[in-house]
C-alpha cells in the first residue's frame, strides 16, 4: 500500500506512529497513580511510602527534561529515542519483577528519566515539518494527551482484574512494539550542534534570553498547566465528597470526557499554521476561564462539572499545542534546546499548581481552589492580550 505524503514532509503513517509512540511512552509517568495502594499492600509498606513512587517518577521526568532533551540537537534524534525506549523497556521488565519498595523507588526515578523520549519526538517532527508545524505537532500532542489521560484508567482496570505488576508488563510489550515501528518508520535528521555537552546545556539556558516569545509561551503554558494540575488534583476530592459521593470508577469516567477534549488539539494547531496563534490563544484561555466559572457557579452539578472538564481540557491543550507550534518556528536547529526550556517551565508550572491547589483545598475547599485557578488564568490572559512592545 502506497504511503500518503503530507505537506509536512512526513507521511500520514509516520505521524500516526509518532503520536502513538509518544502517548505510549509518556503514559508510564502516570500509570502508578491509581495503583499506589496496591503496591503498598504488595510490599507491606505504608501508603505514604508508596506515595513516594509518584513523586520520584516526576523527579526523574524533570531530570530527563533538562539533562537529556537538549541532546536531541547534538545526537541523532532517532538513535537517541530508540536508545531511551530500549532502556525504558528494560526498566519496565525490572519493575514487573521488583522485590521490594527500594527497588521500586530506584526504578521509578529511572523510568521517569527514560520517558522523556516523547519530548524528543515532538521537536523531531517539527524539524522536518516547516509548513504545517502546528497541525503535525497537534496530532502528535493528541497522542501524548491520550496517553496522559488514559494511563490512569488503563492501570486502574488492569490492577483491579490482574495485578499492578501486569501494568508494567503490558507497558513493556507496548514499548517493544513501538521500538520496532519507530526503527522502521522514523526518519533520520542531521543535527548542527557540534559543541560539548556543557556547552549544549549553557546554550539551552541562553535560548530563554534569546527569544522573548519563548519566555512568554513558557510562562503562559506554565500557568495554564498549573490550572490543569490544580483542577485534576482536587477534582477527585470534590467528586468523592458531598453532594456527589462518587466512587473511583465513576470519577474515572470524567477522564474519558477529557480525552474527547484532547482530540480538539489539532484544530488549534491548524489555526497556528495560518498565522492565527494570537486568536487561538485568546480563544483557548477564554475557554479555560469559562470552564472555571461554570465549575464555581454550578459546583454541585455533575453535568456542569463534566462540561467544565471538557472546556478546561480543550483550553489548556489548545494553549499547549499553539505555543509549541510557535516556539518551533524560532530556530529549527535549536528545537530540542528550546523545547527543554519550554517543557521545564511547563513542568514547574504543573508542580506549583498542584501544591497551591492542595493548599487551597485544605484551607477553603473547592470554592478557594476555583478562585486560585481563575487568578492563574487571568494572569495568563493578561500576558496574551497585552500590547507587544518588544519583538524577538
CA distance 275 to 146: 27
Helices (H) and strands (E) in the chain, counts: 15, 0
Of the two residues 162 and 277, the one the predictor is more confident about is 162
Regarding pTM above 0.85, the answer is no
pLDDT in tens, 59-85: 888 889 888 988 888 888 899 999 999
**How do the residues of the chain divide into helix, strand and coil, expressed in percent and rounded to 5?**
80, 0, 15
- Which residues, other chains included, contact 42 with Cβ-Cβ below 8 Å and sequence gap of 6+? 164
- Going along the chain from its start, the domains and CATH numbers come out as 10-191 (1.20.1250.20), 210-392 (1.20.1250.20)
Q: How many CB atoms lie under 10 A from the CB of residue 197?
A: 12
What is the model's pLDDT at position 87? 97
User: At 5, is the pLDDT very low, low, confident or very high (cuts 50, 70, 90)?
Assistant: very low
Residue 108 has pLDDT above 70, yes or no: yes
pLDDT in tens, 361-370: 889 999 999 9
- For the CA atoms of 246, 251, 254, 256, the dihedral, rounded to the nearest 10 degrees, stands at -130
CA distance 124 to 329: 13
User: At 353, is the pLDDT very low, low, confident or very high (cuts 50, 70, 90)?
Assistant: confident
Q: Which helix (H) or strand (E) holds 149?
A: helix 133-161
What is the model's pLDDT at position 12? 85
Nearest by Cα to 214 from 105, 323, 287, 309: 323
- Which residues, other chains included, contact 156 with Cβ-Cβ below 8 Å and sequence gap of 6+? 34, 35, 248, 252
What is the model's pLDDT at position 266? 64
What is the model's pLDDT at position 392? 46
- Mean pLDDT in residue range 352-361: 84
Of the two residues 255 and 89, the one the predictor is more confident about is 89
User: At 3, is the pLDDT very low, low, confident or very high (cuts 50, 70, 90)?
Assistant: very low
What is the model's pLDDT at position 6? 45
Amino acid at each position: 500500500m502506497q504511503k500518503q505524503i503530507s505537506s509536512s514532509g512526513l507521511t500520514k503513517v509516520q505521524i500516526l506512529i509518532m503520536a502513538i509512540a509518544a502517548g505510549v511512552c509518556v503514559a508510564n509517568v502516570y500509570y502508578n497513580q491509581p495503583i499506589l495502594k496496591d503496591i503498598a499492600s504488595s510490599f507491606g509498606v505504608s501508603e505514604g511510602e508508596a506515595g513516594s513512587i509518584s513523586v520520584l517518577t516526576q523527579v526523574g521526568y524533570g531530570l530527563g527534561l533538562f539533562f537529556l532533551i537538549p541532546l536531541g540537537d547534538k545526537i541523532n534524534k532517532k538513535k537517541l529515542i530508540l536508545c531511551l525506549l530500549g532502556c525504558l523497556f528494560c526498566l519496565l521488565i525490572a519493575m514487573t519483577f521488583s522485590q521490594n519498595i527500594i527497588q521500586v523507588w530506584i526504578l521509578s526515578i529511572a523510568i521517569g528519566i527514560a520517558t522523556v523520549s516523547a519530548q524528543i519526538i515532538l521537536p523531531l517532527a517539527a524539524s522536518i515539518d516547516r509548513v504545517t508545524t502546528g497541525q503535525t505537532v497537534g496530532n502528535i500532542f493528541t497522542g501524548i494527551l491520550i496517553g496522559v489521560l488514559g494511563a490512569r484508567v488503563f492501570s486502574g482496570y488492569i490492577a483491579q482484574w490482574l495485578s499492578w505488576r501486569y501494568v508494567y508488563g503490558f507497558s513493556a510489550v507496548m514499548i517493544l512494539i513501538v521500538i520496532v515501528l519507530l526503527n522502521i518508520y522514523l526518519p533520520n535528521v542531521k543535527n548542527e550542534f557540534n559543541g560539548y555537552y556543557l556547552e549544549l546545556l549553557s546554550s539551552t539556558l541562553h535560548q530563554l534570553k534569546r527569544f522573548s516569545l519563548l519566555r512568554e509561551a513558557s510562562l503562559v503554558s506554565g500557568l495554564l498547566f498549573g490550572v490543569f494540575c490544580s483542577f485534576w488534583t482536587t477534582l477527585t476530592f470534590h467528586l468523592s465528597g458531598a453532594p456527589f459521593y462518587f466512587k473511583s470508577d465513576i470519577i474515572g469516567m470524567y477522564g474519558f470526557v477529557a480525552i474527547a477534549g484532547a482530540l480538539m488539539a489539532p484544530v488549534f494547531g491548524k489555526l497556528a499554521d495560518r498565522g492565527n496563534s494570537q486568536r487561538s490563544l485568546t480563544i483557548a484561555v477564554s475557554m479555560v476561564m469559562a470552564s472555571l466559572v461554570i465549575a464555581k457557579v454550578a459546583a454541585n452539578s455533575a453535568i456542569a462539572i463534566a462540561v467544565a472538564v471538557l472546556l478546561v481540557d480543550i483550553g489548556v491543550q489548545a494553549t499547549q499545542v499553539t505555543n509549541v507550534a510557535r516556539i518551533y518556528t524560532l530556530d529549527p536547529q535549536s528545537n530540542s534546546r528550546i523545547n527543554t526550556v519550554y517543557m521545564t517551565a511547563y513542568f514547574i508550572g504543573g508542580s506549583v499548581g498542584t501544591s497551591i491547589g492542595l493548599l487551597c483545598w485544605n484551607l477553603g475547599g473547592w470554592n478557594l481552589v476555583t478562585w486560585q485557578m481563575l487568578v492563574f488564568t487571568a494572569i495568563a490572559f493578561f500576558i496574551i492580550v497585552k500590547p507587544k512592545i518588544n519583538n524577538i
